[in-house]
Amino acid sequence: MGGIEGGRVALLDIDYHCGNGSQDIFYDSADVLTISLHADPNHQYPYFTGYADETGSGSGLGYHRNFPLPPGTDDAAYLQTLDEALTLIRNYNPQYLVLSFGADIFAGDPLGDFAITTEGFAAIGQRVAGLGLPTLIVMEGGYNTEALGQNTCAFVGKFEKVKR
C-alpha cells in the first residue's frame, strides 16, 4: 500500500538529469512513489542509472518509475510522457507531492538537449498543479540564466496560493 505517517507521498522529478538520489533513497521502499522524467542515460549523465527497467526492488518493487527521454524532446512529447507519469501519481492517490523542478529541460539550456519552451513550462505547471495536491517544489537545475526566471515563473505561476 505504501505511505508514511501523515499520508502517502509521491515524488516527481522533472529535472533534466535522472533523479538518482531519490531513486537510491526509496528504491527498496514502498513508502514513497518516485517518478523521474529525464534525459536518456544511454547518452547523458548519470550513465549508470535512470533506465526504464528500474522499477524498485524488495518492498519497493513497482514504486519507482523512470521515463528516459531522447535528445530533442519537445513540448508535445514531454507533455505526453508527463501525462503518463501523472496518471501513475493519481492511481497511487497520495496526500502530498514533492516536486524536483529543473529548468534545465529548457530548449536553450547549455547542459541539456531538450526543446522545452517557456510555454511548455506553463503547460507542465498547469498539469502538475492540476493534481490538486499540497506540493513542495524543490528547485534543481537550470543554467540558462537569461531564461531561468521567466521559465520558473511560467511553471510556478500555475499553482494557486494556499488558502488559509
High-pLDDT (> 90) share of the chain, %: 89
The 10s digit of each residue's pLDDT in 41-62 is 999 988 899 999 999 999 999 9
pLDDT digits over 108-126, tens only?
Answer: 999 999 999 999 999 999 9
Cα(69)–Cα(96) distance, integer angstroms:
26
Phi and psi torsions of 33, nearest 5°: -80, 125
**pLDDT of 163 over the 60 cut:** no
Please say if the pLDDT value at position 30 is more than 90: yes
CA distances from 164 to 80, 90, 161 (A): 34, 25, 9
How far is the CA of 25 from the CAs of 20, 49, 65, 126, 149, in angstroms? 9, 13, 14, 28, 30
pTM score, two decimals? 0.93
Kindly report, residue by residue over 134-144, the tens digit of the pLDDT: 999 999 999 99
Query: Could you tell me if 4 and 25 are in contact, meaning their C-beta atoms sit under 8 angstroms apart?
Result: no
Q: How confident is the model at residue 129 (pLDDT cuts 50, 70, 90)?
A: very high
Query: Could you tell me if 14 and 43 are in contact, meaning their C-beta atoms sit under 8 angstroms apart?
Result: no
CATH number of 9-156, picked from 3.40.50.2300, 3.40.800.20, 3.40.50.450, 3.30.950.10: 3.40.800.20
- Enumerate the domain spans of the chain: 9-156
**Count of C-beta atoms within a 10 Å radius of residue 18:** 27
Query: Mean pLDDT across the chain, nearest whole number?
Result: 94
